[in-house]
Amino acid sequence: MPVPEFELIHRYFSQKGQLHKDVALGIGDDAALLNPPAGQQLVIAIDTLVHGVHFPVTTSAYDIGWKALAVNLSDLAAMGAEPAWFTLALTIPESSEDWLTDFSRGLFDLAKEYGLSLVGGDTTRGPLTVSIQVAGNVPAGQALLRAGAEPGDRIFVTGSLGDASLALQLLTEQGPETVQDYPELLQRLNHPHPRIAEGRVLRGIASCAIDISDGLLADLQHVLDASDTGADIYLERIPYSVAAQQLLSQNPEIRNALLTGGDDYELCFCVPADKLEQLQQIATDNQFNFTEIGQISDTNKLRCLDAAGRVVEMNARGYSHFSKESE
């Protein structure tokens, strides 16, 4: 049954959960009114997910709702920001009740984890496209930027890399049955958990940060460009999940894809030598999983080294490892 627009906004998107304390006026007027806290800078990011481009056509409505918000929160995490509000521009081919119910559940399940308020949006008809803008706060002058890495800084990543890109490859090249054998990989593709808590504690410790959305090598390169430095990465130190390690041992050729496939939504950040102890303490106190993978150099090049210290040429754009045509 199609739902009329006003009814739809009211039913699926109005006042779900608690309104954030800084919302003076949320959904329902021509625009929202927010009271940003004194002494904080406003941090804003937007990302659009297009059906069949940014998620496979088989993705459930719940997962689309979750992921559309998660990819934006990941950008705020990389700035060391506290998320507070978001707006939603939703384009849907038809107003299906089942789809909207599941989509809004996915969206608000994640929003509630961070006490986020949906304060406005726009609803239109057309090919499925979800655009979310998220806003938050960071103490003035303390945001983590891509620029700031210095030679000698150690390079870290949160969590593990490559799971989402493996899931996507299995899905697109071997079909939905094969990927069902790796539920933990599929979970990483559809349900990224933005590293908000990690980003928050890195303020004042990290010299720079970025979230890994396009693969480690491409995103680290953005840090190097912004910081005008190079880096040495030790390939054997890169953290992988048990499932990714298993696939990697069966087929070493996939290593490149793990570092270039994207959709990780982990953080990559640098820490100067005199802050390493502080980082270690924070990781232990909060049970955060930070792995040191290399260091910033003054060479202006991103080099990947094997266990013997030899330079390994990596294809930064990645390629298809499960397809017959690869190599």
Q: Which residues bind ligand ADP (CB under 6 A)?
A: 9, 13, 27-30, 88, 90, 118, 120-123
Q: Which is nearer to ligand ADP, 124 or 142 (CB)?
A: 124
Distance CA 210, CA 221 (A): 10
Min CB(40)–ligand ADP separation in Å:
23
* Paired sense of beta strands 230-234 and 117-125, if any: unpaired
88 binds, among Mg ion, ligand ADP, none (CB under 5 to 8 A by kind): ligand ADP
Q: How many CB atoms lie within 10 A of CB 51?
A: 17
The two tokens of residue 22 are: 């800084």
Q: Which is nearer to Mg ion, 120 or 215 (CB)?
A: 120
Distance CA 27, CA 59 (A): 28
Q: Pick the piece of the chain touching Mg ion (CB under 5 A) from 4-12, 22-30, 38-46, 250-258.
A: 22-30
Min CB(35)–ligand ADP separation in Å:
17
Q: Does 313 bind Mg ion (CB under 5 A)?
A: no
Indicate the helix (H) or strand (E) that contains 154. strand 154-158
Min CB(8)–ligand ADP separation in Å:
8
| Distance linking the first and last C-alpha atoms of the chain | 49
Over the window 25 to 64, marking each residue x when it contacts Mg ion by CB under 5 A and - when it does not, the resulting string is -----x----------------------------------
Min CB(123)–ligand ADP separation in Å:
4
Q: Which is nearer to ligand ADP, 9 or 81 (CB)?
A: 9
Q: Which is nearer to ligand ADP, 31 or 308 (CB)?
A: 31
Q: How many CB atoms lie within 10 A of CB 141?
A: 8
Q: Which is nearer to ligand ADP, 49 or 267 (CB)?
A: 49
Give the largest Cα separation in the chain, rounded: 64
138: helix, coil or strand?
strand
Distance CA 208, CA 205 (A): 9
Q: Which is nearer to Mg ion, 31 or 57 (CB)?
A: 31
Min CB(138)–ligand ADP separation in Å:
25
40: helix, coil or strand?
strand
Closest CB to Mg ion: residue number = 30
Cβ-in-10-Å burial (0-12, 13-18, 19+) of 285 comes to exposed
Binding residues for Mg ion (CB under 5 A): 30
